[in-house]
Homo-oligomer: A and B are copies of this chain.
Amino acid sequence: MSTATVSHVLNHSKPVRRDTAARVERAIRELGYQANTSAKSLASGRSAIVGLVVSDIENPFFPEVTRAFQEAAHLRGQETIVMSTHYDPVRTLDCIRRLAALQVAGVAVLTSEMHQSAMDYLARKGIRAVYLDVGKGGPHTANIAVDYSSGIRQAVEHLRQLGHERIAFISGPPELVSLRIRRDAFLSAAAACSIQPAVIESDLTIHGGYWACGRALSRFHPTAVMAANDLMAIGALHAAYDHHLRVPEDLSVAGFDNILFSEYTQPTLTTVAIPRRDLGEMAFQALWDLLSGEHVEGRNYCLTTRLVVRESTGPALHRTEPRRPSGASATRDDPATPGTKADPSEP
């Protein structure tokens, strides 16, 4: 019984007679044999390890993505090495280099903080790669596009159906791509629903959300507030409380992200969810397609967001002053003030 035969039994790389295979299996069991992974990868030039690069493993968004990815990988016999870039393009490249040195079979890069050079590097080494939101896939490369606007449109329509006509959007720093996408999605959805929008930029923190909501309330008198992430939405909940506005009776609040804690706020938070589990599974599936398929040109994958309705949104309080004791007689058609921007121009 030669090592070659054993190899063929293990990999089905050549037909082997039933009884021979059985003998091999038995020997393997008796000796507790386990193939040496290093030798395998050295000989075959490809390890059974794939890399997963994420922005920040401590951001609650990613562990779930990671887990789904890892489980999908495990089903295909692949192990996963996860690396976190802390949103730093330089570290992204470093991670990719290290993964390449490990002869990984492929890499999924689920962060946008990345220079072109990182993609070039992988392309040059011929390493299959999956990216997130970088346009089209190319040779040995696939792309996953997240449709942020779909969930946001649902949220806006949901609020519209509840009778809301003035909605403030608390946006994030405009220099972050994904935040800009969310803002624009909100504006076009608002335009489509003939809703009067206002945008306030803030900093993605709870405190920032609190501040922005207070500002929106006094200047714009919205019946609903939507935030570009859940933390700011939570800040908005606190702001409403401090303005003696009940949520959702006096003010509706919606968030984005569906973080774990959005189920635990009081009231629980209506929010737009990115299907994290699906993202992880899809990322691996895309990678696996690249690895097993012969078609050099990678496909494009799409992932859609959806609204999760909870308690923080309800029917609009129409034509009624907010029940603020000191009810300064601001009229509802108060135009957007400096510092807020209304831009319903996009389709």
Q: Which of A227-275 contact B (CB under 8 A)?
A: 231, 234, 238, 260-261, 264, 266
A82 at the binding interface (Cβ < 8 Å): yes
A81 at the binding interface (Cβ < 8 Å): yes
A337 at the binding interface (Cβ < 8 Å): no
Which single member of B41, B206, B231 contacts A38 (CB below 8 Å)? B41
Stretch of A100-108, A145-153, A170-178, A317-325 lying at the B interface: A100-108
Q: Are A39 and B42 in contact (CB under 8 A)?
A: yes
Also in contact, A206 and B39, with CB within 8 A (given A58-B67, A64-B58, A67-B57): no
Stoichiometry, as copies per complex, reads 2
A295 at the binding interface (Cβ < 8 Å): no
A202 at the binding interface (Cβ < 8 Å): no
State in angstroms the CA–CA spacing of A36 and B42 once bound together: 8
Q: Are B102 and A37 in contact (CB under 8 A)?
A: yes
State in angstroms the CA–CA spacing of A238 and B265 once bound together: 10
A313 at the binding interface (Cβ < 8 Å): no
Number of interface residues of A (CB under 8 A): 40
Residues of B within 8 A of A261 (CB): 261, 264
Chain B, Cβ-Cβ closest to A51:
B79
Q: Are B38 and A103 in contact (CB under 8 A)?
A: yes
Residues of B within 8 A of A98 (CB): 79
A223 at the binding interface (Cβ < 8 Å): no
State in angstroms the CA–CA spacing of A41 and B57 once bound together: 28
Q: Which of A71-119 contact B (CB under 8 A)?
A: 79-84, 97-98, 100-103
A47 at the binding interface (Cβ < 8 Å): yes
State in angstroms the CA–CA spacing of A38 and B48 once bound together: 11
Minimum distance in angstroms from A49 CB to a CB of chain B: 8
Chain B, Cβ-Cβ closest to A101:
B34
Q: Are A38 and B38 in contact (CB under 8 A)?
A: yes
A60 at the binding interface (Cβ < 8 Å): yes
Residues of B within 8 A of A1 (CB): none
Which single member of B38, B49, B60, B63 contacts A42 (CB below 8 Å)? B38
Residues of B within 8 A of A34 (CB): 97, 100-101
Q: Are A70 and B42 in contact (CB under 8 A)?
A: no
State in angstroms the CA–CA spacing of A146 and B103 once bound together: 37
A66 at the binding interface (Cβ < 8 Å): yes
A4 at the binding interface (Cβ < 8 Å): no
Residues of B within 8 A of A58 (CB): 63-64, 67
A35 at the binding interface (Cβ < 8 Å): yes
Listed residue (A80, A100, A264) with the most chain B CB atoms within 10 angstroms of its CB: A264
Q: Which of A125-139 contact B (CB under 8 A)?
A: none
Counting from the closest, the 9 A-B pairs by CB-CB distance are A38-B41, A38-B42, A58-B63, A57-B63, A38-B38, A37-B102, A34-B101, A39-B42, A42-B42
